Structures are given as C-alpha cells and as structure tokens.
Amino acid sequence: MFRYLLKRILIFIPTLLVISLIAFGISKLTPGDPVTSCGNLGGQDKTYLNDYFAAELAYNQRAQSLGLDKPSFYFSFTSRAYPDTLYKVLNHPKRAAIAKLISRYGNWPQIDHYFKAIDALEIASYQIPQSEVKNAKIEIRKALSQLKINYNDKRVNYEMKALQKVFEKDSLVQKYVGQESKALFLAYDQMRNQSSTSKLFQPKFHWYGFDNQYHIWFTKFITGDFGYSCQDGRPVKERIKRAIGWTLIMNIFALILAFSIAIPLGVFSAQKRGSRFDKWTGLILFVLYSLPGFWVATLLVIFFTTPEYGMHWFPSIGLGDTSTDIPFWSRFWDRASHLFLPIICLSYGSLAFIARQMRGGVLNVIQQDYIRTARAKGQSEEIVLWKHAFRNSLFPIITLIALVFPATISGSVVIEYIFNIPGMGRETIAAIYAKDWPIVFTILLLTTGLTMIGTLIADILYAWADPRVNFKK
C-alpha cells in the first residue's frame, strides 16, 4: 500500500512537469506583445511619445521586471543562422521581425548591421535642430520605427522610399544624417544580397542553463508565487485564493448531493429491476444525463431568478451583499439561497451518471455466487441486498470520484459564468475576455493539479476499501 502510494506520487511529479511545459508552451504562443499587453505601460505611452529613449527605457524595465530578458528555456535547438543571444533583444515586435528576417536570409551579421544602421540613423536624427526641419524629423522617426518591426518587402520598400523622399526634399537634412542614411541603404542592400540560407540547414544546440524563464516561472509557481494579474496588477494568488473557495464549496456540495441521491436510487432501481419504477427512473436519469448543463442553468436563471414569469423564487444571480455583522445563520441561509440553483446544475449530470453506474454495479453483484449462497442460507432479501450486495457494489463507485470530479470542475466554468458566482470558472472566463494570461495559466495548472489529486484520493480510497485490490503490481 505504502509502496503503491509512493509510486503514484512519483508519477504525479513528471505529469505536473509535462503539463507545466504544455502550459508554458501555450503561454509563449499568446498573441500580442507580452510587455505592453500586460501592465500599465499603455497609459504612460503618451508621456513618452516625445522622448523616444525614455519610452524605450521604460519598455525595457517593464520587460525585465516580467523576466523577459532571460532565455525562455534551458536549451535551444535551432539552426546556426540564429544567434544565441536573440533573446536579449527585449522589444517583442522587433525580435519577431529579426527572427523572420533570419528565417529568410540566414545572415545574422548583415541583419545585425542593418538594425544597427537603423539605430544610428535614429540617434543622428536627434541632432537635426528642431526649429529648421520639424516635419522631416518626425517623418524620419516614423519610418524608422516601422522599419524596426517590419520584415515584409513591400512595407520595408515603402518606408525606405519615404525616407528617401525626405532626404531629397531637404538638403539640410542631408547635412545632418546623410552619412547614416547612406549606411542604412547600403546595409539593407547587403542584407538582401549577401544571404546565406545554407546556414539555416545547419543544426545547433545551445545550453542556456537554469537562469531561464521557464525555470523561474515554474519554481515560483511551486512555491506559490503565481505572478501578477494584468487587469489590476494584484498578485494572482490573492485573486485565486478567494475564487477557489467558492468553486470548491460548490463542487463538494454538488458531489455530496449527487452521491447521496444517486446511490440509493441506483440500488432501488436495481432491486426492482424491470418494474415501472426502474423504467421511469431509467428514462429520467437518461434525460438528465443528456440535458446540457448550461441550458438548464440558463432556463433556471430566466424562470426562477427574475420576476418576469411570476416564479421569482430565488434571489437574482451573484452572491448578493451580506455584511459580516448579520448573524451567522441568516448569512448562511442567504448564501445558500444563492448557491442552491448552481449546485443543482452542477450535480444532476453526475447524479444521473453515478446512479446508472450504481444500478449496473448492483445488478452485476446480485448475479455472484455469494449472493446466491446468502439467499440459499435463508437470509432475508433486505439483508442480502444491503449487507452483501450493496457493500460490494460500492467499491467501483469510489473510483467514479476520479471521473466525476474533473467533470464538475470543468462544468463549473460555465455554471459560475451563468450564475455569476465569483469562483475559478468565472475568473477564468473573465481573464480570457481580458486577455489576462497569468491568471489563465495559473488556473489551468491548478485545476490540473486538483484533478490529479482527486484521482489519487480515489485510488487510495479504492485500495483502502477493497482488500481484493492488489497494488503490488
């Protein structure tokens, strides 16, 4: 038993690792710039508009504080065309543009040269006196900022032409940035003409070590530091701590309700197999099983929580406001009245499933030899059923917890959204609408962990309850 437990826990760890890798991989695929999409840089952008260097500095600081200045993983396996230090380019769109250019031309030195030429021109353009050619300065900078993040020929040519036009129009500009602009055009031509695509086909393995984004993210995650929410900058942990309580309360009550109704129902309908009671419960359970939870929830919300149809029996959705100075019991009843419908919605699906399984289990056990023996012994039907059949058919039901638990957790995503319960599910949906990825991935990993723990508990219960189960294998 102990060895089995140890083995299960040992499996638990690689599973969590793989899932963390999947989550991290997906998080790297999220669209948009992680620096500007997460955080309040957007608001400050305007003040930095006139001061390019200050804006860049702020951007880089933000990127550093998010840990984006580190390589993303322990190692990389790419072609030799890509430099090891590409991650040091902090600007996300710029890095994407560089990577695209490398994938096309394969000549990092020339590309590097080209981007340096852009920077040089930018710095030089600052020396143009404000008073003389104000428009030219703005146009040059506009074109350059586009050149930095674009890789597509058409767009780059367009911006290059725009630059050339500015230079042709104003001889004064030539005086200040003539050299740099020539260098830029030259660098661009060099990059295009001296491509070395053969380098793309040479594999290269590079080891970055433990100071990488994944390692830091995962070690922090294990120690309970989930990062910060993009919506309000508060720690994810704080937000989830409140939410997980509601989800767990709802799910546990729903499971208790489901099991406590389903088990007797299954036993009775197995006992009266073929009777009218059995047929009707079978049909009703089947219908319940097929009823989509979000539809039932929507119907309940519409009919029972609004005064529209004269059946306003439950308070409107949400948890309501209860201040802490009301006595405990009235607060309890208030909460219960809010949670009643969602718990019903969560539980009826599993209820139908468990009852059907229970009926099958009892029917299976009744055919066993020891039941026949018990009957032959002259035991009353009640004792046969409850003492012999019931107990033995209960074992497989325990493993159902492992099946039902993840389903209710998943189900509570939609139910919480519909009933506006501030649990993990609603938090997930809200975070997805707000593109608040740190919360989304934390919840993904946490629910996975919860599911695994649920499975583990079910396994242990099964082993503890049924001595026939052999775990030595």
Q: How far is the CB of 412 from other proteins (least distance, A)?
A: 10
Residues 93-132 that bind other proteins (CB under 8 A): 100, 103-104
Contact with other proteins (CB under 8 A) among 107, 251, 269, 455 = 455
Strand residue runs (E) in 80-130: none
- Distance between first and last Cα of the chain: 11
390/419 with CB nearer other proteins: 419
The site map against other proteins for 27-46 (x = CB under 8 A) is --xxx---------------
The site map against other proteins for 71-100 (x = CB under 8 A) is ------xxx--------------------x
Tell me: does residue 440 bind other proteins (CB under 8 A).
Answer: yes
Tell me: does residue 203 bind other proteins (CB under 8 A).
Answer: yes
Token pair 């090891």: residue: 84
Q: How far is the CB of 134 from other proteins (least distance, A)?
A: 37
Q: How far is the CB of 436 from other proteins (least distance, A)?
A: 11
CB 88 within 8 A of CB 211: no
Q: Where are the alpha helices (DSSP H) in 274-387?
A: 276-290, 293-304, 328-366, 369-376, 381-383
Cα separation, 299 vs 303, whole angstroms: 6
128/440 with CB nearer other proteins: 440
Exposed, middle or buried, 157 (CB in 10 Å: 0-12/13-18/19+)?
Answer: exposed
Q: How far is the CB of 301 from other proteins (least distance, A)?
A: 8
Helix, strand, or coil (residue 395): helix
Tell me: does residue 448 bind other proteins (CB under 8 A).
Answer: yes
104/169 with CB nearer other proteins: 104
Tell me: does residue 284 bind other proteins (CB under 8 A).
Answer: no
> CB under 8 A: which stretch of 318-326, 329-337, 449-457, 459-467 binds other proteins?
449-457
Q: Where are the alpha helices (DSSP H) in 367-436?
A: 369-376, 381-383, 390-419, 424-433
> CB under 8 A: which stretch of 19-27, 123-131, 385-393, 457-465 binds other proteins?
19-27
Tell me: does residue 260 bind other proteins (CB under 8 A).
Answer: no
Cα separation, 79 vs 103, whole angstroms: 10
Contact with other proteins (CB under 8 A) among 247, 251, 428, 442 = 428
Cα–chain center distance at 334: 32
Cα separation, 249 vs 413, whole angstroms: 14
Tell me: does residue 471 bind other proteins (CB under 8 A).
Answer: no
Helix, strand, or coil (residue 204): strand
> CB under 8 A: which stretch of 16-24, 206-214, 332-340, 381-389 binds other proteins?
16-24
Cα separation, 446 vs 240, whole angstroms: 10
Cα–chain center distance at 322: 31
Tell me: does residue 179 bind other proteins (CB under 8 A).
Answer: no
Contact with other proteins (CB under 8 A) among 411, 419, 459, 462 = 411
The site map against other proteins for 297-336 (x = CB under 8 A) is -xx-xxx--x-xx---------------------------
Q: How far is the CB of 77 from other proteins (least distance, A)?
A: 6
Contact with other proteins (CB under 8 A) among 265, 413, 421, 458 = 413
Cα separation, 337 vs 305, whole angstroms: 11
22/336 with CB nearer other proteins: 22
CB 115 within 8 A of CB 127: no
Q: How far is the CB of 292 from other proteins (least distance, A)?
A: 5
308/325 with CB nearer other proteins: 308
From the list 263, 266, 296, the residue with the least C-alpha distance to 282 is: 266
What single string gives the DSSP state of each residue in 129-148? -TTT-HHHHHHHHHHHHHHH
CB 244 within 8 A of CB 421: no
Cα separation, 61 vs 330, whole angstroms: 51
Tell me: does residue 183 bind other proteins (CB under 8 A).
Answer: no
Helix, strand, or coil (residue 235): strand
Tell me: does residue 418 bind other proteins (CB under 8 A).
Answer: yes
Tell me: does residue 287 bind other proteins (CB under 8 A).
Answer: yes
Cα separation, 207 vs 205, whole angstroms: 7
Give residues in contact with other proteins (CB under 8 A).
11, 15, 18-19, 22, 26, 29-31, 77-79, 100, 103-104, 152, 200-201, 203, 286-287, 289-292, 294-295, 298-299, 301-303, 306, 308-309, 406, 409-411, 413-414, 417-418, 428-429, 432, 435, 440-441, 443-444, 447-448, 451-452, 455
